[in-house]
């Protein structure tokens, strides 16, 4: 079965063709980072308009790369939510127009389910059940994944997500948007131990997270430093990254202990962070834990993960929509 995956939930336009027997045939992602950087964050109206400009050219690109035609598509999977309403409607509009024109089923996919299943695109792929650490700009969660549609929330952030904390720290240090890559690069030049920042909720006894206080600690450190020369900024960045990584890794290992599982899957944009990957690999090696990441190019939002999740849903007997359609900007994963 050949699945077209469409992702337009926020500021990346992603389309992909996934063959159920062969695997990923082609995918394209257009990032709007350059456009939004001037505003220090995503502007929803601009995001929606840019998706409109990109979706059809990207569709033609993946069809040409794969050597397939529109009529070869057997089903269409599209991100139905959560996300920006206008942006989601662009992807949904294309999906249902194609579905109607081709007479093909369309299945709505939860954006976070796409991320949770994205490591299945890697080789070797993890086997169910596993613990998933989902870390992105909008979400920081630990989930027990028993199978497609079988998700148990173990812990989540009570305020800022890890990716959001990276972006806000970048602003405090005078770095660009998005903040994650910029802060991580700067941290490489920092002196270990020059600053020590708190590890929020590290010993809370549960699997929840909190990063707003860490952002405040960065602000306090920057104000006390006064002159934010390049080295001071690097030192603060290193302390910040070390704190976030320490909390994420410690909680992830605690989740494995509580569930009795030995497989950890990491997904979401922050999953591409080099310092986090290194720390988790060390912990996994020490504990004999199987550790899985999606391919680096598929850590951020993309159509491949949506196509894969859509195929899994169709195989599980999910129905497809016909006629009118809608999106769900707020959509709890448990529903």
The per-residue pLDDT for range 143-196, each reduced to its tens digit, is 999 999 999 999 999 999 999 999 999 999 999 888 889 999 999 999 999 999
What pLDDT is stored for residue 54 in this prediction?
Answer: 98
Residues 142 and 248 in one domain: yes
Helix (H) or strand (E) holding 5: strand 2-7
Say if CB 155 and CB 251 are below 8 A apart.
yes
User: 24 is in which domain, residue-wise?
Assistant: 2-116+298-315
How remote is the C-alpha of 155 from its chain's centroid?
A: 17
Residue 219 and residue 140 share a domain? yes
Check whether residue 220 and residue 98 sit in a common domain. no
180 assigned to some structural domain: yes
Q: Do residue 40 and residue 83 come from a single domain? A: yes
Can you tell me the mean pLDDT for 130-142? Answer: 93
Do 311 and 180 belong to one domain? no
Domain count, the chain: 2
Question: How far apart are alpha carbons 62 and 310 in whole angstroms?
Answer: 18
Specify whether 284 is located in the same domain as 311.
no
- Same domain for 102 and 139, yes or no, is no
Question: Whole-prediction pTM value?
Answer: 0.94
Q: Could you tell me which of 147, 108, 100, 90 has the C-alpha nearest to residue 310?
A: 108
Q: Are residues 40 and 56 in the same domain?
A: yes
Does 229 map to a domain?
yes
- Residue 96 resides in a domain: yes
- The yes-or-no verdict on residue 334 having pLDDT over 80 is no
325 domain residue, yes or no? no
Give a yes or no: residue 321 inside a domain. Answer: no
Same domain, 173 and 40: no
Q: Look at residue 122 and tell me if it is in a domain.
A: no
Bridge pairing between strands 263-267 and 130-135: parallel
Does one domain contain both 22 and 171?
A: no
Q: Is the pLDDT of residue 318 over 80?
A: no
CATH of the domain at 85: 3.30.420.40
Angle at 273 between CA 267 and CA 276, to 5 degrees: 85
Q: Collapsing DSSP states into helix, strand and coil, what is residue 281? A: helix
The arithmetic mean of pLDDT across residues 3-21, rounded, is 97
Q: Is 330 inside any structural domain?
A: no
User: Do 277 and 143 belong to one domain?
Assistant: yes
Pairing of strands 140-147, 290-292: unpaired
Q: How many alpha carbons fall within 13 Å on the CB side of residue 181?
A: 8
Is 150 a member of any domain?
yes
Residues 150, 228 within the same domain:
yes
pLDDT in tens, 195-250: 999 999 999 999 999 999 999 999 999 999 988 999 999 999 999 999 999 999 99
With CA atoms as reference, report the closest residue to 153 among 162, 161, 145.
145
In degrees, rounded to 5, the angle at the alpha carbon of residue 330 between the alpha carbons of residues 328 and 335 is 80
- Residue pointed to by tokens 């070797």: 124
């Amino acid at each position: 079965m050949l699945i077209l995956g469409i992702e337009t939930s926020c500021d990346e336009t992603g389309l992909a063709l996934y063959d159920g027997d062969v695997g990923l045939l082609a995918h394209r992602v257009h990032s709007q980072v350059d456009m939004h950087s001037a505003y220090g964050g995503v502007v929803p109206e601009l995001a929606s308009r840019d998706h409109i400009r990109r979706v059809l050219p990207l569709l033609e690109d993946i069809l040409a790369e794969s050597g397939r035609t529109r009529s070869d598509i057997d089903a269409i999977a599209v991100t139905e939510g959560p996300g920006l309403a206008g942006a989601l409607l662009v992807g949904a509009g294309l999906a249902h127009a194609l579905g109607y024109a081709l007479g093909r089923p369309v299945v709505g996919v939860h954006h976070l389910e796409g991320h949770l299943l994205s490591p299945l695109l890697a080789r070797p792929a993890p086997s169910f059940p596993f613990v998933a650490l989902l870390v992105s700009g909008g979400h920081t969660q630990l989930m027990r994944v028993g199978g497609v549609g079988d998700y148990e929330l173990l812990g989540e952030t009570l305020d800022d997500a890890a990716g959001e904390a990276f972006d806000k720290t970048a602003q405090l240090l005078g770095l660009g948007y998005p903040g994650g890559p910029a802060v991580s690069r700067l941290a490489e030049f920092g002196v270990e131990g020059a600053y020590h920042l708190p590890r929020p909720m590290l010993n809370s006894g549960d699997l929840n997270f909190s990063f707003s206080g860490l952002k405040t600690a960065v602000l306090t450190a920057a104000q006390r430093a006064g002159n934010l020369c390049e080295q001071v900024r690097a030192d603060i960045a290193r302390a910040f990254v070390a704190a976030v990584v320490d909390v994420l890794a410690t909680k992830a290992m605690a989740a494995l202990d509580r569930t009795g599982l030995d497989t950890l899957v990491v997904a979401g944009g922050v999953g591409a962070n080099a310092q986090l990957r290194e720390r988790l690999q060390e912990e996994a090696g020490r504990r004999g834990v199987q550790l899985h990441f999606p391919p680096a190019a598929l850590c951020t939002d993309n159509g491949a993960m949506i196509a894969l999740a859509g195929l899994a849903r169709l195989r599980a007997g999910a129905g497809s929509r016909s006629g009118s359609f809608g999106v769900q900007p707020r959509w709890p994963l448990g529903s």
